[in-house]
Amino acid sequence: MASVRILPDRVANQIAAGEVIERPAAVVKELVENALDAGATRIEVEFRHGGRSLMRVEDNGQGMSQDNALLALERHATSKIAEAVDLDRLGSYGFRGEALPSIASVSRFEMQTREEGNDVGTEIVVNGGKLLHVRECGRPFGTSIAVTHLFNSVPARRKFLKTDQTEAAHIIQCVRFYALASPQAAFTLIENGRVIFKSPECATLRDRVAEIFGRQTSESLVEIENEEGGMRLQGLIGKPGTGRGTRHEMVIFVNQRPVDSRTLNYALIESYHESLPKGRYPVAFLFFQCDPAAVDVNVHPAKREVRFRSEPGVRAFVIRSMLGRLRDLTPSADTSPQTPTPALKEAVAPPASTASRPTMATRPAMSFQSKLLAPLPNVTPSMPPARSPISVPSEATPAAPVSAHQGAPTWRYLGVAHSNFALFETTAGVVLLDRRAAHERIWFERLQHQFKSGKVPSQRLLLPVPVELDPIAAAMLLDRLEFLGEHGFEVSEFGRNFFRIEALPAWMEPSAAEAFMRDFLGLLREGRLPENNADLARDELAKLAVSKAVRLPENSNETEVRALLAQLFVTQHPLTNPTGRPTYIELNHAELARRFQKS
């Protein structure tokens, strides 16, 4: 039987690092939190190669003496709490005392610090958990920590890191969160020698949002503030109809700590149930405050997850607060109530429905999809024709008939149900055609061909469309301007984080250009437009284009529906739309008999 032994401190620290330091962004997070806890009003973060080769965080906080600096590298050494009950009144970001020894055990760790009142500072260097030297140094008040060669002492962990681009995105997102949480501190973020963003001290949250996400985003938001039963919600939220294709601009803080809370995310999305189209996410920068004893931040060493003592109460409070503010922003004339979802029922009755009229977000989409959903000329899988932006037929114009030899099935047309589903009678039973899914498949293959051939009809704009982005999105867009140019877009830089869209593909309306560009950048952030796979990137761009076809004309005659059916069956994959959803389903005689309980 193997004997039981106590692990050496170095091994124990490396094991602990597996929980606390899961990726380079976790190192930056811990160091920035320490800087804010030290009262810093100026924080500079620098990293190279996604954090693999260098991460440096420098602040002007209170600093440490030599004894305290050495003690901070011991496990469970902290100045934040003294006993367990302190967790119920926690006012700092850090409290576990595991971050610094964990970081130092899996990297080369260099710390320089000087507290006010000391004439000289202290420099400490640790490599893979081994103390190399401690000596005096000259430096301003505050602390600077440089972490290099992360996970060199544990190569297995290094293999699990993602690409430099992915790891850099996590670091940038992390610093943005803490910059939003602390507008009273000035933040500078530097990647590979290039300044990503530099934000001075800001008087308000709106000013900080403008510095990081752009003034266009800031000006599109409205304030929200509500307090009830010891809970408080405040921040900035998007107006009804203002949404994004990803959740990257849904940012939530609990007691000033950036968190990923399923309870709060669910409440936020449900609150916009009637204010945004399906598949769109709200823009929100929300601060939720409650008694520290009512929330557990000690769920995981990374402290990104929290657990509330009363999850239903928190969710209901957030939904009530959000719906109350959204109701103030939504005109109530000529509307009728709609049945709320179960989540909304338990919180508060929802505001009057806006589904009967287009929102500000859907109007551009309707204009845009008027081109996508027009009757299409005859197409073949090998050569889909280009469309002119000038002579686009309307849906009311009958399309040219398609002969049966092109693959169109000879089904008997019955009509259109619920404005979307075309019904046909066949010899085997009944077919229901999803008109929207059919349009999406036809246009997807047409755009695929245009993108692959490099022959995308383009239209120059008389008035360029201005787009202001946050520094991260601006950097990503600059890297993909050539890709956009190959697909019918002409985008030029017009100042710091400011761009002008000067030309568009022929199938896009100018009013949809800005929203499309932001959704494109959302795909980039999610890694769905890889630079090393041009075919996949083109396919994702084509999917994004056809996804804009969110509404259909209420009425279509038999000629139009048959033309659509014929064009669907000359595509390469007529059975599904680009996302894999069926374009039609068939109920055969056996299924109909079973449904009607016939033997």
Read off the tokens for 562: 């048959």
Of 539, 543, 555, which is closest to residue 516 (Cα–Cα)? 543
Band of pLDDT at residue 388, cut at 50, 70 and 90: very low
Band of pLDDT at residue 167, cut at 50, 70 and 90: confident
pLDDT at 109: 95
Of 125, 121, 149, 147, which is closest to residue 136 (Cα–Cα)? 121
The DSSP H or E segment spanning 473 is helix 471-479
Total-model pTM: 0.65
Higher pLDDT, 304 or 194: 194
Segment 114-147, tens digit of pLDDT: 998 899 999 999 998 899 999 999 999 999 999 9
pLDDT exceeds 50 at position 150: yes
Integer Cα distance of 234 and 256 in angstroms: 11
Average pLDDT over residues 533-549: 79
Integer Cα distance of 25 and 31 in angstroms: 10
- Helical spans, DSSP H, in 116-198: 155-158, 164-181
pLDDT at 331: 60
Class of residue 350 by CB neighbours under 10 A (exposed 0-12, middle 13-18, buried 19+): buried
Phi, psi (5° rounding) for residue 207? -65, -40
Highest mean pLDDT out of 5-19, 87-101, 132-146, 541-555: 132-146
Phi, psi (5° rounding) for residue 289? -125, 140
Q: CB atoms < 10 A from the CB of 346, how many?
A: 12
pLDDT at 379: 38
Q: CB atoms < 10 A from the CB of 173, how many?
A: 15
42-48 and 281-282 strand pairing: unpaired
Residue 26: beta bridge partners?
none
Segment 208-243, tens digit of pLDDT: 998 888 888 888 899 999 999 899 999 999 988 888
Average pLDDT, the chain: 79
pLDDT exceeds 90 at position 286: yes
Interhelix angle 311-329/262-271, rounded to 10 degrees, is 30
Segment 301-349, tens digit of pLDDT: 666 778 898 999 999 999 999 999 998 887 654 444 444 555 555 554 4
Q: DSSP letter at 458?
A: E
Q: Regarding the domain with residue range 372-585, which homologous superfamily does it belong to in the CATH classification?
A: MutL, C-terminal domain, regulatory subdomain (3.30.1370.100)
- Separation in Å, CA 493 to CA 216, 217, 500: 16, 18, 7
Integer Cα distance of 155 and 521 in angstroms: 33
pLDDT at 134: 94
Band of pLDDT at residue 360, cut at 50, 70 and 90: very low
pLDDT exceeds 90 at position 61: yes
Segment 484-522, tens digit of pLDDT: 888 889 999 887 778 999 999 888 888 888 888 888 888
pLDDT exceeds 90 at position 110: yes
pLDDT exceeds 90 at position 46: yes
Residue 505: beta bridge partners?
458
Read off the tokens for 213: 């996400």
Residue 468: beta bridge partners?
498
pLDDT at 380: 36
Band of pLDDT at residue 155, cut at 50, 70 and 90: confident
Dihedral sign for Cα 228, 232, 236, 238, please.
negative
pLDDT at 293: 85
With pLDDT > 90 as the criterion, what percentage of the chain qualifies?
A: 29
Average pLDDT over residues 552-558: 74
pLDDT at 85: 52
Q: CB atoms < 10 A from the CB of 598, how many?
A: 9
Integer Cα distance of 129 and 131 in angstroms: 6
Domain ranges of the chain: 9-199, 220-347, 372-585
Overall residue count recorded for the chain in this entry: 599
pLDDT at 592: 87
Integer Cα distance of 585 and 3 in angstroms: 66
Residue 131: beta bridge partners?
126
Integer Cα distance of 61 and 116 in angstroms: 9
pLDDT at 363: 42
Average pLDDT over residues 448-471: 86
Band of pLDDT at residue 178, cut at 50, 70 and 90: very high
Give the chain's radius of gyration (CA, Å).
29
pLDDT exceeds 90 at position 457: no
Q: DSSP letter at 231?
A: E
Class of domain 9-199: alpha beta
Band of pLDDT at residue 530, cut at 50, 70 and 90: confident
Average pLDDT over residues 351-364: 41
Average pLDDT over residues 447-470: 87
Integer Cα distance of 124 and 410 in angstroms: 81
Integer Cα distance of 269 and 546 in angstroms: 24
pLDDT exceeds 70 at position 403: no
Integer Cα distance of 289 and 268 in angstroms: 15
Thinking of the domain 220-347, which architecture would CATH place it in? Answer: 2-Layer Sandwich (3.30)
Q: Give the CA-trace dihedral at 170, 174, 176, 182, to 10 degrees.
A: 180
pLDDT at 358: 43
Read off the tokens for 56: 């440096």
Answer yes or no: are the C-beta atoms of 137 and 122 closer than 8 Å: yes
Integer Cα distance of 414 and 411 in angstroms: 9
